[in-house]
Amino acid sequence: MSKAKEPEQTDTGRISNVSGPVVQAKGLSARMNDVVRVGEEELMGEVIEIEGDVTTIQVYEETSGISPGEPVVTTGSPLSVELGPGILDSIYDGVQRPLDVLEDEMGDFLDRGVDAPGIDLEKEWEFTPEVEEGDEVSEGDVLGTVPETVSIDHKVMVPPDEAGTVADVNEGELTVEDTVVELEDGTEISMLQEWPVRKARPTADKKRPKTPLITGQRILDTLFPIAKGGTAAIPGPFGSGKTVTQHQLAKWSDADIVVYVGCGERGNEMTEVIEDFPELEDPKTGNPLMARTSLIANTSNMPVAARESCVYTGITLAEYYRDMGYDVALMADSTSRWAEAMREISSRLEEMPGEEGYPAYLAAALAEFYERSGLVETLGGDQGSISVVGAVSPPGGDFSEPVTQNTLRIVKCFWALDADLAERRHFPSINWNDSYSLYRKQLDPYFEGEVSDEWADTRQWAVGVLDEESELQEVVQLVGKDALPEDQQLTLEVSRFIREVFLQQNAFHDVDTYCELDKQFRMLDLIQQYNDHAFEALDAGVPVDEIEDVEAAQRFFDIPVEDDWEPLVDEIEDQLDSEFQEMY
C-alpha cells in the first residue's frame, strides 16, 4: 500500500474558507504568528493556527468581497513594529500604520490593503554620537541621541543580541535607515529597529517600585497611590468617567512618555482624544503634550483582529522608551473591548469557550499584558519603568464579570468607578469603599520623606472616618441624621468635608485640575485639625450645631481652587484656633 503524498507547501497558498476576520488557506508554508498578505488586495493578516495543510489567519482589515481561490502570501516574519525616532507625536492604528499619513493620501476613509511605514523613512534627524571608534558596546548601550521632539531626546541603542567593537561612527543629518555605527565584525547599526509585538523586550533585572506615579488627583495620590512601574485598573459602567480619568493621568502624571491606546472605544470618544491631545499644553514643560505622547486609535468599528493586536503594539512602544531609561505611562482604554475581540476570534476558531463565552486563556492573556509593566534595570544599565492603567468596561457595571475579576487578580491598584457618584456630580467618581492600593506601604517612605512624616497617619485617619461614615449612613437611611448621638453627627460632618473638599476635584478648573502633594497633605491635615478641635469642643459641652457653624470650616471649599493656597491655609488654621478657643 503506497503512502499518501504530502501536500506541497509553498510561500503562496490559496484561500479555502472565509469566516468574518478569520480566513483559512491551503498550501501555505508559514509559521505561527507570521504576517501574511491575503487576497488580491493583499490585506494584512496573522497566522493563528496551523493544522496539517490548513493555515488559519486572522485578518486585520475588513474581509468582505474576499473569496476562496485568491492567493495568500507569507512574509516570513511575525507582526512587528518599527522602533526609532518619529514614534512620538504620531497617531497609529492597531498595527502601527500612521493614520495622519494615510489620511493625506486617501482622505477620511482608508482603502483596504494600504500600508505605510510606522515611522518616516525619508526624514533626516540630527544624530549626535556618544561613542568613538574602538569603544566596546553591547546590547542596550546608548550610541547617541536625536532630538525627537522639543520635549524628548531619543536615545539610539544597540539592539538586543548585538555587541562588538566600534569601527566607524557617523554623525549629522541621517535617516533612520542610515548606518550610525559600524562594528568591527561588519554589523551595521541604524536608528531603526523592528520588534515582534507579542514578545517582551529583554531587561537586565526587574526591581520593586518605591516611587509613586504622581497624578495630581487627590483621591489617587493620597488614598490609592500607584507606583512607577505599577499596574492599575479603572472599572466602571458607561458614563462614570473612565476616559476622563485616563485623560487626567495622561496629562498630569509625572511620566516622561505617555502611550495612549484607544482599544475598541466609540468613534466620537476617540475623535475627541485625537482632536484634543494635539491642542493640549504639557503643564511641566509648556510644550505641546503630543511631544511626549503616542496615540494608538482603534475604534469599535475597525476590524476586530486589529483591535486584538493594538494593546501589544502599545506595550511594545512603551518598552522601547523604557529601555532608554524613561518612565512611561500606558493607558489602555479599554481592556474589555480587547477581551471582546479575543472572544469573537476564539468563537470563529470554534475554540472551547470559557466563562461568558470568553476564551479559556483570557486570564493568561491579561496577565501576559500587565506583566510587561514594571520598574527595570535596562540592558544598558539605566533604570526605566512602565506603569499600566487599564480601563475596564463591565456590562451594566457588574464587577463580577470575567474581565474585571481576572484583572483584579493581576493588578495591585483598583480604582472602582461608581455610577451613583457620577450621577451626584461627584468627580472623580471613584468609590473609596470599593477601591484599594497594594502599593501604600512601599510608597509611604517616599511620601513621608518628601512631604510629611505624618502622611501615612493622616491618610489612615481619613480612611477610618470614611469607613465609619459608611456604617452610619445605613442608620441614617432608617432614622435620619438627627436621631444619631452628637458625636456621630459630628463624624458625618467631618466626613462631608473629606468628601466634598478633598476627594471631589474639578478636572475642568484651571487650578483644581492638578493638586500638588504638599497641598494635598495640608488640605487633609486642616480637616483633621477641625476634627480634633470639634471633638474637644463637644467634650467641653459645646452643642454640635454651634460646632458645625464654625466660619473657618466653611472656607475649606476655597482652598482647592486657590492658586496661592499656602497663605489661605495658614489663615484658616489661625481662624480655626481662634474660633474654637472662644467656644470653650
Same domain, 182 and 318: no
Same domain, 508 and 570: yes
Q: Are 281 and 289 in contact (CB under 8 A)?
A: yes
Q: Distances from the Cα of 39 to the Cαs of 58, 61, 389, in angstroms?
A: 13, 12, 38
Whether 29 is in a domain gets the answer yes
Are residue 281 and residue 322 in the same domain, yes or no? yes
Q: Residue 443: inside a domain, yes or no? A: no
Domain that holds residue 133: 122-191
Residues 287, 298: Cα–Cα separation, whole Å: 26
Average pLDDT over residues 188-195: 96
Which of the four pLDDT bands, split at 50, 70 and 90, describes residue 2?
Answer: very low
Q: For residues 463 and 429, state if they share a domain.
A: no
Per-residue pLDDT tens over the stretch 221-272: 999 999 999 999 999 888 788 888 888 998 899 999 999 998 877 766 777 7
Q: Which helix (H) or strand (E) holds 488?
A: helix 486-497
**Same structural domain, 424 and 509:** no
Distance, CA of 249 to CA of 253 (rounded, Å): 5
Q: How many domains does the chain have?
A: 4
Are 235 and 186 found together in one domain? no
pLDDT of residue 10: 63
Question: Which set of grid coordinates corresponds to residue 482?
Answer: 438627627
CATH number for 36: 2.40.30.20
CA torsion, points 228, 230, 234, 235, in degrees to nearest 10? 180
The domain boundary, picked from 389, 405, 437, lies at 437
Same domain, 30 and 179: no
Decide if 446 is inside a domain: no
| pTM, entire model | 0.92
CA distance 522 to 542: 27
Residues 126 and 213 in one domain: no
Q: Are residues 133 and 23 in the same domain?
A: no
CATH of the domain at 372: 3.40.50.300
* 445 in a structural domain: no
Least confident of 184-188, 214-218, 275-279, 538-542: 275-279
Q: Would you place residue 351 in the very low, low, confident or very high pLDDT band (cuts 50, 70, 90)?
A: confident
Percent of the chain whose pLDDT exceeds 90: 72
Distance of alpha carbon 410 from alpha carbon 368, whole angstroms: 10
Apex 550 CA angle, 548 and 551, nearest 5: 130
* Distances from the Cα of 109 to the Cα of 27, 65, 193, 311, angstroms: 34, 18, 30, 23
| Interval 105-115 mean pLDDT | 68
Same domain assignment for residues 540 and 471: yes
Does 340 lie in the same domain as 216?
yes
Question: Residue 76, Cβ neighbours under 10 Å: how many?
Answer: 12
Q: What is the pLDDT of residues 399-427, one digit of tens each?
A: 999 999 999 999 999 999 998 999 998 99
Assess if residue 374 is contained within a domain.
yes
Considering only residues 100 and 292, tell me which one the structure prediction assigns the higher pLDDT: 292
Query: Domain for residue 111, yes or no?
Result: no
Task: Say yes or no: 432 and 456 in one domain.
Answer: no
User: For all residues of the chain together, what is the average pLDDT?
Assistant: 91
Which CATH number does the domain housing residue 128 bear? 2.40.50.100
Q: Is residue 201, in this structure, part of any structural domain at all?
A: no
CATH assignment of the domain containing 568: 1.10.1140.10
Confirm whether 245 is domain-assigned. Answer: yes
Q: What is the pLDDT of residue 7?
A: 45
Supply the pLDDT for residue 222.
97
Q: How much is the average pLDDT of 475-498?
A: 91
H or E element, residue 58: strand 54-59
Q: Report, as an integer, the average pLDDT of 95-120.
A: 77
